[in-house]
Amino acid sequence: MNRISRSKLQISWIALVALVAGCDAASPPAFRLNMVEAVSRETSPEYQREIANVLGALFGTPDEPFALPVTGLDGAKLRMAAGPAWSDEKGTTVGLYRKHCVHCHGITGDGRGPTARFLNPYPRDYRLGVYKFKSTFNPAKPTDDDLHRVLVNGVPGTAMPSFALLPGSEVEALLEYVKYLSFRGQMETQLISYVYDELGEEEEEDENGNLVPIPAPFDPASDGDQREAVMDMLADVVAEWEAAGEQIVVPTEATIPADERSPEEILTAIEAGRELFYGKRANCATCHGPTALGDGQQDDQDSWNKAHKVFLVETARQAESIETREAQAGLDAAGQQLLSADRAVFGVWRKVADSLYKTRNAIPRNLRQGVYRGGRRRIDIFHRLYAGVAGTPMPASGPASPGAQGTLTEAEMWHIVDYVLSLPYEPPSQPLQALPVNVGEVL
């Protein structure tokens, strides 16, 4: 009797120790693979592992980030931003990303932290390397100053707060880490494409001596060609970011309105802006609505939601195709085989599709609220018009790259800036009185 109870005691002790140890040994946070991308590109689990390995070698882990010298990223800043949130006796804080950002933007920077689900708009997914509020041409990357402005001013109208009260060094560290997550995310997409597009099949002898095709392994550590290809990709990603400084949209001095203008001059500019707003060339009213309340065309998505929407539509198509075939009588052996193969694929798709949040349409901004997400400096509004809002249906009115031809002239854009900035202060009854002469073409 005594012995039994003692052994019972031992077992419960072991269980307790295992429980405590288990808690301690919780696996450190890891970067998640972009499954939407991987599954759409038919990346096999083996390839997924190999891609994760390569990304790990290039960028390290969330606890120990690592950046090759070619990225130009500052390792010290990354270490300050990464890892668990913690501060020492002197008040130096590390783990800044996890302290301030992770609950929305997620450990991978995929905009899918625990609170992301409750936010509208969803937090930014850094992995595309696309940023909305910047001073550069539409396809170009943002400059450090642009990212800095977003961190300091927040994004009014969204859940992104200002981090202006953090010490400058901490803001710099976070900025570096955001770029790091973008580099990593962009590389991930490129590696998935590379594996899908470039790697073929190799032949290998099985145990009977027959040659069977197997997918070529993705192992840049031992394969020089692959290593070179990966490093080229990284260099391209970095080059794009480094070129941002040369892609800044600088308004032509001659077209910039004077600092001090008489009320009549401003009124004339506003009138001209209104004309353009409703005109066919600028075409603002189509989306922002004839009343500028953002109630025009609303059924488009931004790049982030569109990618998910495409994935969800394809998943639904597969489900329907499988259902139709299951309902069919007399499927032959080949058909049956194909059906079960499709079912296996669909299983993977559905799992990823179930993990996605509801996609949302891009709703054009209500211009009468006076809330400007990308900043309310006149130059900010000008940049939104000139370069559009990258990743969204808001098109660029200026050229897409230096020297090219845009839809509107800069002087015209400045008129629209004046008009847009006057909209929140227009009496609610005025829009009707102020409908432009070409109203017939609009409605």
Partner 1 sequence: MKRFWSLLFLLVPIGGVATFVAAPYFQIWLPEDVSEHGRTIDDLFKFILYLTGIVFIITESALFYFSWRYDATTNADPVKYSHGSHALELVWTILPAVTLLFIAVFQMEAWARAKMKPPNIAPLVEVTGRQFNWDFRYPGPDNKLYTADDIVRTDGKLYLPVNEEVLMKITSADVLHSFFLPNLRLKQDVIPGMDQSMWFKAKKTGGYDIVCAELCGWGHYKMKGRVYFLPRDKFDEKLKEMRQEQDTMRVEVPEEEE
- Catalog residues that contact partner 1 under the rule CB under 8 A: 100, 103, 115, 118, 135, 143, 145, 152-154, 156, 159, 161-162, 164-165, 245, 248-251, 256-257, 259, 370, 376-379, 382, 414, 421-422, 425
CA within 13 Å, CB half, 398: 30
φ/ψ (deg, to 5) at 231: -65, -35
* Positions of E strands within 33-157: 86-87, 93-94
Query: Cβ of residue 325: shortest distance to partner 1, in angstroms?
Result: 46
Closer to partner 1 by Cβ: residue 244 or 353: 244
Give the three-state DSSP class for 180.
helix
Closer to partner 1 by Cβ: residue 257 or 395: 257
Closer to partner 1 by Cβ: residue 123 or 393: 123
Query: Cβ of residue 416: shortest distance to partner 1, in angstroms?
Result: 13
Q: CA geometry: angle at 288 spanning 286 and 290, to 5°?
A: 70
Query: Cβ of residue 118: shortest distance to partner 1, in angstroms?
Result: 8
Closer to partner 1 by Cβ: residue 55 or 249: 249
Query: Cβ of residue 294: shortest distance to partner 1, in angstroms?
Result: 16
Give the three-state DSSP class for 136.
strand
Peptide bond into 121 cis (omega under 30): yes
Residue pair 172/180 in contact by the 8 Å Cβ criterion? no
Query: Cβ of residue 425: shortest distance to partner 1, in angstroms?
Result: 5
Residue pair 210/183 in contact by the 8 Å Cβ criterion? no
SS3 percent helix, strand, coil of the chain, rounded to 5, is 55, 5, 40
With a CB cutoff of 8 Å and minimum separation 6, the contacts of 265 are 258
Residue count (the chain): 443
Partner residues linked to 132 by β-bridges: none
Closer to partner 1 by Cβ: residue 51 or 276: 276
Query: Cβ of residue 417: shortest distance to partner 1, in angstroms?
Result: 8
CA dihedral over 168, 170, 172, 174, signed as positive or negative: negative
Closer to partner 1 by Cβ: residue 124 or 184: 124
Closer to partner 1 by Cβ: residue 184 or 383: 383
Query: Cβ of residue 159: shortest distance to partner 1, in angstroms?
Result: 6
